[in-house]
Amino acid sequence: MRWLLHGLVCLAVLGAAPLLGAPLEGAAGEFILLELRVPRVLVGALVGGTLGLTGAVYQALFRNGLATPSTVGTMAGATLGALAALVLGAGALLGLPGVAAAAFLGAALVSALVLSVAARKRATMGDVLLAGIAVTLASSALASGLQFTADSQALFAATQWSLGHLPQVGYDALGWLGPLNLGSALALLLLAPALQGLVGGEELAETQGVPVRRVRQVALGAGSLGVAASVAWCGPIAFVGLVVPHVLRGFGVITYRQLLPLSWLYGAAGLVACDTAARLLLPGRELPVGVLTAAIGAPALVWVVARRRSLG
Amino acid sequence: MTDLVFDRVGLRLGARAVLEGVSLRVAAGEFVALLGPNGAGKTSLIKLGLGLALPSAGQISLGGAAPRALSPRERARRAAWLPQAERPSEPVPVIELVSSARYFAREPHREARARALAALERVGAAALADRSVHELSGGELQRCQLASVLAQGAPLVLVDEPGSHLDPRHQVAIYRLLGELWREGHGILCVTHDVNLLAHVGGDPRVVGLLDGALTLESRWLAPALAGELSQLYGVPLQAASGGGGRVFHISAESNGARP
């Protein structure tokens, strides 16, 4: 019953989003609705869901409330890749727009580096966290170096990309995002009981039957794949992965059996709502959605933390 | 039959030998109290038995197979662990914490919760089921963790310092419950400092002692020589006295604490 309610709320947000805005009439209106707004809402839902869900999973995995989808360096790697493509001039790779392809490659490479640390026998989650911080810092440094050599046009494009946005990509992006993000979400949702077990401690969970190392690999692997695909298309969208699970916790959603599916649903609905607002707020111009998620997310996080100091 | 056998087991961490040549057999249905001073390697031995670490020398057998060769699920079927109290990282309700002990069983969540509730009733903590684990006192938390062990239902139970941080009433309650589990047929390996609490297990449990990584004591709770053996193990003169219907060990007053 409660699940039905949550599902309906999120569906209502997704359904209403493409209808809001300037009135649509005639063939042009139909084109805007079906070819621009509907795919954009679907991209927003896939990306927002991935970010919210991955944030919740990483918070459980690292047993740290500050973990985010970018904790293992995925976002920094994507930023580096995108910047390299913009600065060095990007053609189409793998049939994708060059920027998205390069961002995906960067994200995948950096995540693979961190994953290889996580796969080592004696690695603790603290080691993985440190590796994530190290590759994030290194990627940022390289990105700064690239920016230094860039001309002003590439620099402007890079800045725009790094703000986070839902692109007008029609259905092309969905062919990539659909399978990657839905596959990653499914793998992560199935981890809920194992992640619940980790709450009592990694070693205790192992004695209760949780294959801790495999859970770690699946979570980091599936998580960074979904996040890499998302960032590649939309840039690093801040705060969704951090804030959505915490706001849900603030409303009393505590077990991972509930938190994971709800983070997915409300991550999707939340990002679509933000994107719609970003589209409507300034007449005649669009605000990058990443600016809006940060503007709403930061105070929301402070509110949650002020209300209850629980996790991490 | 799940017995736990350590055969000439050694464990090195860097240059330090934590355990050396330890041979110990905990037969199915046996209660073994493992005593020893701080840093003697007691917790390491338990973790080796659970397959949480690999020995650097020797063989371990948990119900006929090396623990590390078994999947975590199969290990969970054979042995359960009551660790030294560690507070869970999130404020989950007690019932969820205890339900997690059923992970290995691949059963519907409703069933796991039912077993968890039954286990909580057994330790007298059913009223705590919906409380957040972060609101529990140390004693309540340990009782709930004992409920997890009961819910897991493994034939062998490895217990690490169950009485630490508890007031006397809760200490006694935990040891009585361990005694009950023993009489129901569970094998129990219980690491403890507080030898006097063994009086509440009932019966005549086996007592072994670990000193500097090697087993140096093999005795029984009711053995007359135990006082002398414990004195050697801990390096303080202990005397046995009878009081309250059982044995009590205390440090001889004239020794004035540790001897050099």
Angle, helices A172-189 vs A38-61, to 10°: value is 30
Average pLDDT over residues B116-138: 93
- A95 pLDDT more than 60: no
**pLDDT tens per residue across span A266-294:** 999 999 999 999 988 887 788 888 889 98
Of residues A23 and A89, more confidently modeled: A23
Q: What percent of chain A has pLDDT over 70?
A: 95
- A29 pLDDT more than 90: no
Contact status, residue A283 vs residue A27, Cβ threshold 8 Å? no
Q: Where are the domains of chain B?
A: 4-223, 230-260
Identify the pLDDT of residue A312: 42
Nearest to B152 among A63, A208, A212 (CB): A208
CATH for the B4-223 domain, from 3.40.630.10, 3.40.47.10, 3.20.20.70, 3.40.50.300: 3.40.50.300
- A91 pLDDT more than 70: no
Q: Which residues of A touch B103 (CB under 8 A)?
A: 193-194, 197, 205, 208-210
The architecture of the domain spanning A2-18+41-307 is: Orthogonal Bundle (1.10)
The continuous run of DSSP H or E covering B118 comes out as helix B109-122
* ipTM score assigned to the predicted complex: 0.92
Nearest to A254 among B51, B93, B103 (CB): B93
Q: Does A145 touch chain B (CB under 8 A)?
A: no
Q: Which residues of A touch B109 (CB under 8 A)?
A: 193, 257
- B245 pLDDT more than 60: no
Q: For residue A128, what pLDDT band results from cuts at 50, 70 and 90?
A: confident
Average pLDDT over residues A106-110: 88
Q: Does A124 touch chain B (CB under 8 A)?
A: no
Our CA-based measurement puts residue B97 at a distance from the nearest CA of chain A, in whole angstroms, of 7
**pLDDT tens per residue across span B191-225:** 988 888 999 998 899 999 998 888 989 999 988 88
Lowest mean pLDDT segment, chosen from A91-105, A155-169, B27-41, B207-221: A91-105
Our CA-based measurement puts residue B109 at a distance from the nearest CA of chain A, in whole angstroms, of 9
Return d(Cα B51, Cα B23) in angstroms, integer.
16
Q: Which residues of B touch A63 (CB under 8 A)?
A: 89
Average pLDDT over residues B81-86: 86
Average pLDDT over residues B218-246: 84
Tell me whether residues A209 and B81 touch, CB distance under 8 A.
no
Contact status, residue A132 vs residue A125, Cβ threshold 8 Å? no
Q: For residue B243, what pLDDT band results from cuts at 50, 70 and 90?
A: low
Of residues B242 and A202, more confidently modeled: A202
Q: For residue B259, what pLDDT band results from cuts at 50, 70 and 90?
A: very low
